[in-house]
Structure 1
Amino acid sequence: MFETNNLRIRAVHNTDIIKLHDLWNDLRVQKTLSPVHVIPLGIKFEETLRSWVSDSLLYCIIETKAESEWVGFVNFFNADKKNRDATLAIALCPEFWGRGYATEVLRFIVDYAFRELALHRVTLNTFGNNLAAIKVYRKVGFVVETIQRKANWSGGKWQDVVSMGILDEEWTATRKED
């Protein structure tokens, strides 16, 4: 289990699968996470979640330290061992948006990726209309690498898919400035 100033980042327990399922079924969250159609995800989706947890390089639950409130998840998946790259995903329950928790988790988990997991780069994708997420990713040190214009249909309109990344040497350089 890891701790930051306000948060605990811990392993997934069996009881978390239902909470993960509920998080993915929140329209506000689902439309920020997946390029597939936003639809209610049934009981079979729990099997998918379990496979994601077991197949990920790292899959953690985020909760508050003070009250042990369930906040969301963060994970590394699609790990490329040869090139020491992994894709990052994070999602928080909407009631925790805007509190600085995403920044806090990302700073910790990116540092962990480079220092402990020996990754060379961390990659992520987000949608162009998710301006709050892009702002947080940039604050942590991610840079835009590619933009797929109008690559995702959601909410009755096209949106860009933004690929961002951060390299270990970029992260190290920003840590020296702190």
Structure 2
Amino acid sequence: MFETNNLRIRAVHNTDIIKLHDLWNDLRVQKTLSPLHVIPLGIKFEDTLRSWISESLLYCIVETKAESEWVGFVNFFNADKKNRDATLAIGLCPEFWGRGYATEVLSFIVDYAFRELALHRITLNTFRSNVAAIKVYRKVGFVREGVQRKANWMEGRWQDVIWMAILKEEWEAKQTST
């Protein structure tokens, strides 16, 4: 179990599956996490979640330290061992948006990935409409690498997918400048 100033980052427990399922079924969250159709996700989705958890390089639950409130998840998946690259995903319950928790979790998890998991690169993608997430990613040190133009159909219009990454040397430079 890891701790930051305000948060606990811990392993997934069986009881978290229902909470993860509920998080993915929140329309506001689902629209930020997946390029698939926004639909109600039934009981079979719990098997998908278990598969994602078991196949991830790291899959953690985020909760508050003070009240042990369930905040969301952070994970590394699609790990490329040869090139020491993994894809980062984060999903927080909307009631915790705007509190600085995403920045706190991501700052810790990026640091952990470079120091302890020996990653060379962390990749992510997000939708152009997710302005708050892009701001957080930049704050943590991610650099925009490219745009898939009009790659996702959402709410009756096309939106761009933004690809971002942070390299170990960029992270190291940021460590020495702070």
Q: State the 1:51 CA deviation.
A: 0.4
Q: Residue in 2 aligned with 1:56? A: 56
How far off is 1:97 after superposition? 0.1
Distance 1:95 1:170 in 2: 32
1:173 aligns with 2:149: no
Compute the displacement of 1:29 (Å).
Answer: 0.1
What does 1:29-108 correspond to in 2, within 5 Å?
29-108=29-108
Within 1, Cα distance between the matches of 2:155 and 2:70? 28
Looking at structure 1, the residues matched to 132 and 157 of structure 2 have their Cα atoms a distance apart, in angstroms, of 19
Give me the whole-angstrom Cα distance separating, in 1, the residues matched to 2:143 and 2:86.
Answer: 15
1:110 Cα deviation after fit: 0.2
Q: Deviations over 1:74-118 (max 9, x none)?
A: 000000000000000001000000000000000000000000000
Alpha-carbon distance in structure 2 between the residues aligned to 1:7 and 1:73: 12
Does the alignment pair 1:136 with 2:136?
A: yes
2:155 aligns with 155
Kindly provide the CA deviation profile for residues 21-77 of structure 1, in whole angstroms up to 9, marking residues without a partner as x. 000000000000000000000000000000000000000000000000000000000
Please list the CA deviations of residues 121-173 of structure 1 after superposition, one character each: whole Å capped at 9, or x if unmatched.
Answer: 00000000100000000000000001011100001111000000000010010
Q: How large is the Cα RMSD of the aligned pairs?
A: 0.3
Q: Normalization by structure 1: what TM-score?
A: 1.00
What secondary structure does 1:159 align onto? strand
* Aligned-partner Cα distance in 1 for 2:146–2:177: 27
Distance in 2 (alpha carbons) for counterparts of 1:166 and 1:48: 28
Q: 1:156, 1:53 → 2: CA distance?
A: 32
2:16 is aligned to 16
Query: For this pair of structures, how many residues does the alignment match?
Result: 178
Distance 1:62 1:129 in 2: 24
Q: Is the partner of 1:176 in helix, strand or coil?
A: helix
Q: Calculate the TM-score normalised by the size of structure 2.
A: 1.00
Instruction: Give the share of equivalent positions with the same residue, in percent.
Output: 85
Q: Give the gaps of 5 or more residues in structure 2.
A: none
* C-alpha separation in 2, matches of 1:110 and 1:42: 32
CA–CA distance in 1 between the matches of 2:29 and 2:61? 16
CA distance in 2: counterparts of 1:84 and 1:146, whole angstroms? 20
Aligned to 2:118: 118
